[in-house]
Amino acid sequence: MFCINCFHKNTSVTNSRPHKKQPSVWRRRKCSNCGVLFTTIERPSLVDTALIKSSSGETSPFNLGKLIISIAEAFSHTPTEGKMHALWLAQTVESTLATQVQSLTPEDIEAVTHQVLKQFDEVAAVQYAAKHQLIVSASARRRGRPSLVSRGHETQ
């Protein structure tokens, strides 16, 4: 890890602690060149390790950028909020997926993203669900189908 003060390439870890509730590690680092102490928080990234398997059998790498854009688009009612929070929300989704799912499908990503958005902004969650066809139409509801389909489980 390089130093954030002098950009020297050699830093050492003086203290390290795993987070109790999230898959991340807090580290205190010291630069061997200028002596500055700084803190890093390291978390797993699906970008390098996870493959998404589509229903057609094709696999592709996890793309955090696509997820950020998709989340930002769900905030069409408040675009500024989407710009401010999309990265943070996408990282929350990524962290959740890293701890819960071994093999990823687009449906897994959609379900977790919808749940994260639902906790943060109900309107954005509804807009995301509508775009990703997680919501069944009003005419289908009148026929007795549930209003929301999430990860293969149907809920009202």
4 within domain boundaries: no
Rounded distance between C-alpha atoms, residue 77 and residue 56, angstroms: 34
- Tell me: do 115 and 77 sit in the same domain: yes
Q: Which domain range does residue 102 map to?
A: 46-155
37 within domain boundaries: yes
pTM reported for the whole predicted model = 0.65
Rounded distance between C-alpha atoms, residue 102 and residue 122, angstroms: 28
10 within 8 A of 33, measured Cβ to Cβ = yes
129 within domain boundaries: yes
- Tell me: do 63 and 86 sit in the same domain: yes
- Tell me: do 33 and 100 sit in the same domain: no
- Tell me: do 38 and 106 sit in the same domain: no
Read off the pLDDT of residues 5-62 as tens digits, 9 standing for 90 and up.
999 999 999 999 988 877 778 999 999 999 999 999 887 777 666 778 888 888 888 8
- Tell me: do 69 and 93 sit in the same domain: yes
Count how many Cα atoms sit within 13 Å of the Cα of residue 74 in the half-sphere of its side chain.
31
- Looking at per-residue confidence, does 93 or 156 come out higher? 93
- Distance, C-alpha 39 to centroid of its chain: 23
Q: How many folded domains does the chain comprise? A: 2
For 148, the 3-state DSSP assignment is strand
- Tell me: do 33 and 59 sit in the same domain: no
- Tell me: do 16 and 60 sit in the same domain: no
Which H helix or E strand runs over 63? none
Read off the pLDDT of residues 123-153 as tens digits, 9 standing for 90 and up.
999 999 999 888 766 555 566 655 555 444 4
Q: What is the DSSP letter of 55?
A: T
- Tell me: do 15 and 59 sit in the same domain: no
